[in-house]
Amino acid sequence: MDGSAFGGNNEVVGIKNFRISAEKDIEGLDTYIAQHLNTTGPLPPLSTNAPYILAVWSEIIAASPVHAVGKTFNLPKEKGQNKDAGSVKVDVVADEGRRWIRVNTIKNSRLMAEIHELDGYESESSESSEQANGNIVTPSHENSILRMAKSLLAAAKHNKVPDTGETPRVTIRLTRLELDPTSSGGETIDPRITRTVQDLAAMGIDVQLGERPFPPRLSDASAPSSADVRPTLKVNLDLSLIIALVSDLSHAPLPLTEEDARERFRPLTRVWKAGILFRSSVISDAISDEETDANEEAPDNNEDVVKDSYEHSRALALQLLSEMRHSLLDEMALHLKNDGAQSQLEFWTTPEAQQRCAKIVEKIGGPGEKRRAQALFESDGQTLFWQDSRFDMNFIPGLVPLHIYPQNVPSQSILPASKPTSSSEIFVRRLFRTCRILLSPSQRRTHQGKSLELVYATELAPSTESSPQVIDTDVPSPSVLAGSRPNTRLTAHTVRSMLWGASSRTTTLTANRASVRAVLREMRVLAGVNTEVEPDLAASDGRELEANTQPGNEVGDDGVAVLWIVEPRSLAEQMRSDVVSAGERAKK
């Protein structure tokens, strides 16, 4: 059984426990074989759960993408009852929670034994057990299969799919129940077995008989591909992407070799002269050991300066190597080509991202980066933005000027109600709802009888909003639901950018991979699927270019991206060793 189909970290909820159950069953089979290698005569009965495990595994493969494995759902409480009504297990949850699959390995003989036992109870209770007219099932037919089906239907009605309100469709696969006499060795099929299957169908159950053909070993080729995925013509940029667009890394001539790339960013070195720390690239060989030793009394935090400088220079060199392999602007131009429709391209961002970018660039940006950061938002900034760039003027049409969203974040999504609820449509709705909850104002909500504080309120709620609109979600913060601490990888401006993208049905282009992972994790928790691992970005509805082939070029359509992730580019001009003039120093 190859679990790699679901990622290296078992990101499908329940797959880890399923694997453990399979391994235990294999160990039991190995022990049985070892104990009876030399046994003559009849072997003792073999106790194994292999038929069930193999049947579930076949359903997992066929139902891909899988939402959860072995998930338990609560049944609705009966009126007047304070105690819990119990729960029901679903072997495979698929199609964004819209399909439940339950495997049952009962045989004809076992089902007939149940029916005969129920017939005995009926004869003892005489006429008192007769049901009212109109019911599908009589007491003698209330076998375990029908009881299981009723529980599944009740749970499905009680646990509707978040963001769509749909009731999950229930499939029951009866792997060893035979209705064809030719398949059962010529034995007559009791009509009550046939009636049981008919009753299941009458309830609305999708009944599948027999084992599903066992699938071959999965290969990487079966994974979804993002090769044909395209972004919307209107692209939403977050802060990390704006920084990448103005970065010296994205515009300066590229080094010829990897060694040249690493030499471009030389860290500070621990050489002191008159209380001043020099860049390694401008330190003279004439500096004596005595001069160095004379400054050993420098504050201890200078060690941190050197360490941070080394790590920063190394990170910039790695980003430059990434730029040499896959240029940011080349990648954007490649994906934004849309049959000559580039003239329709628009790029948008939030006011907060613009303001934060200006502050960051003013503090640590170089002259060229400052010029580009200002020109990017000016109507006549084309020339200044592309000045000294290795790319031609207007290399990406519509990039300059960058449009600004309104100040207030959207209170509701503009997703049309008539939109078909495809998997990607559910993903967009779930992303919007998750971002709204993460940005909710501080308030207390009730969940499962407990009053819970929205942990994210003080961390993510915008301070500029005096009376933000209350979001009627009736759901506490996902991290509260998960029983975990707030995710430190999430910041308010990142969540707000994703919120605008989901609301306006535009592709969000970001270089903040960690925040995307964090938001996707919160989405899974909010959807009722709690997991302690981060979802793989290559997963079906969260992959880097969210695939969906309908015309219209909107988020949620087939082939159109919801989230588009690129490698980060930091401000680097001030850290370049080849532009540091002799005698330029970093003061302590």
50 vs 110: CA distance, rounded Å: 18
Residues 349 and 242 sit within 8 Å (Cβ to Cβ): yes
Mean pLDDT of the chain: 75
Q: What is the pLDDT of residues 3-22, one digit of tens each?
A: 434 444 446 889 999 999 99
Residue 296 has pLDDT above 70, yes or no: no
Q: Which of 268-277, 472-481, 559-568 has the highest mean pLDDT?
A: 559-568
**Residue 314 CB partners (closer than 8 Å, separation 6+):** 265, 267
Does residue 95 have a pLDDT over 80?
yes
Q: What is the pLDDT, as a whole number, of residue 229?
A: 76
DSSP string, 357-415: HHHHHHHH--HHHHHHHHHTTSTT-HHHHHTT-SSPTTSSTT-SSPEE--SSPPSS---
CA-to-CA distance for 475 and 214, rounded, in angstroms? 40
Nearest-CA neighbor of 493 among 330, 354, 289, 383? 354
Chain centroid to Cα 285, Å, comes to: 53
Q: Which has the closest alpha carbon to 13: 541, 545, 471, 528? A: 528
Give mean pLDDT, residues 469-476. 32
Percentage of the chain with pLDDT > 70?
65
> What's the pLDDT at 238?
96
* Angle in degrees, CA 405, 406, 412, rounded to 5: 95
- What single string gives the DSSP state of each residue in 217-264? PP-GGGS---TT-B--SEEEE-HHHHHHHHSHHHHSPPPSSHHHHHHH
Give yes or no for a contact between 478 and 522, defined as CB atoms under 8 angstroms apart: yes
Please check the confidence at residue 303 and state whether its pLDDT lies above 80: no
pLDDT tens profile 54-63: 999 999 998 8
Q: Number of helices (H) and strands (E) in the chain: give both, helices first.
A: 19, 15
What pLDDT score was predicted for residue 479?
43
pLDDT at 149 over 90: yes
Res 454: pLDDT: 32
Amino acid 208: pLDDT = 94
Predicted confidence (pLDDT) at residue 52 exceeds the cutoff of 80: yes
Kindly give the interhelix angle for 351-364 and 367-375, rounded to the nearest 10 degrees: 160
Could you tell me the pLDDT band of residue 78, with boundaries at 50, 70 and 90? confident
Taking a C-beta distance cutoff of 8 angstroms, is the pair 506, 235 a contact?
yes
pLDDT band at 163 (very low <50, low <70, confident <90, very high): confident
Distance CA 247, CA 87 (A): 55
Which pLDDT score, from 0 to 100, does residue 378 have? 96
Q: Is residue 566 a contact partner of residue 241, using CB atoms and an 8 Å limit?
A: yes
Whether 399 shows a pLDDT value over 70: the answer reads yes
215, pLDDT greater than 90: no
Structure tokens at 349: 């961002």
Low-confidence winner among 79-83, 87-91, 365-369 (lowest mean pLDDT)? 79-83
Q: What is the mean pLDDT of residues 420-443?
A: 77
Distance from C-alpha of 508 to C-alpha of 478, rounded to nearest angstrom: 22
Query: CA-CA distance, 547 to 553, in Å (whole number)?
Result: 12
% the chain with pLDDT above 90 = 40
Tokens of 164: 């769509």
Least confident of 259-263, 292-296, 401-405, 513-517: 292-296
Judged against a pLDDT cut of 60, whether residue 117 lies above it is answered with yes
Residue 293 has pLDDT above 90, yes or no: no
SS3 171: strand
Radius of gyration from C-alpha coordinates of the chain: 31
Task: Give the relative orientation of helices 239-246 and 351-364 as an angle to the nearest 10 degrees.
Answer: 40
What is the spatial distance between Cα 488 and Cα 521, in angstroms, rounded to a whole number? Answer: 13
Distance CA 577, CA 364 (A): 15
Helix axes 108-125, 144-158, angle to 10 degrees: 90
Query: Which is more confidently placed, 329 or 483?
Result: 329
- Select the more confidently predicted residue: 216 or 460: 216
In the sheet that holds 276-279, the strands lie side by side as 268-273, 276-279, 585-587
Task: Give the residue with greater pLDDT, 51 vs 488.
Answer: 51
Helix (H) or strand (E) holding 451: strand 450-453
Mean pLDDT of the region 243-255: 96
Kindly tell me if the per-residue pLDDT of 125 is higher than 70. no
Q: Classify the phi-psi angles of 70: left when phi > 0, otherwise alpha if psi is within -120 to 50, otherwise beta.
A: left
482: CB partners within 8 A, 6+ apart: 525, 530
Of 223-232, 299-308, 473-482, 496-505, the one with minimum mean pLDDT is 473-482
Positive or negative CA dihedral for 418, 559, 473, 509? negative
CA quadruple 60, 64, 70, 74: dihedral, nearest 10 = -140
Among the residue ranges 323-332, 422-431, 473-482, the one predicted with the least confidence is 473-482
At 419, the pLDDT band (50, 70, 90 cuts) reads low
Largest CA distance in the chain: 110
**Residue 340 confidence (pLDDT) above 60:** no
Indicate the residue type of 470.
Answer: V
**Taking residues 399-425, what's their average pLDDT?**
73
Distance CA(68)–CA(75), nearest Å, equals: 18
Whole-angstrom Cα distance, residue 554 to residue 231? Answer: 8
* Closest residue by Cα to residue 102 from 163, 168, 12, 10: 168
The answer to which of 219-233, 239-253, 461-475 has the lowest mean pLDDT is 461-475
Q: Which of 125, 264, 150, 160 is nearest to 203 (CA)?
A: 150
**pTM over cut 0.85:** no
Helix (H, G, I), strand (E, B) or coil at 58: helix
Place of tokens 């071959």: 216
Long-range pairs, 74-79, Cβ under 8 A, ≥24: 74/155, 74/158, 74/159, 75/151, 75/154, 75/155, 75/158, 76/154, 76/155, 76/157, 76/158
Q: Which residue has the tokens 């509707």?
A: 160
- Residue 55 has which token pair? 């049947």
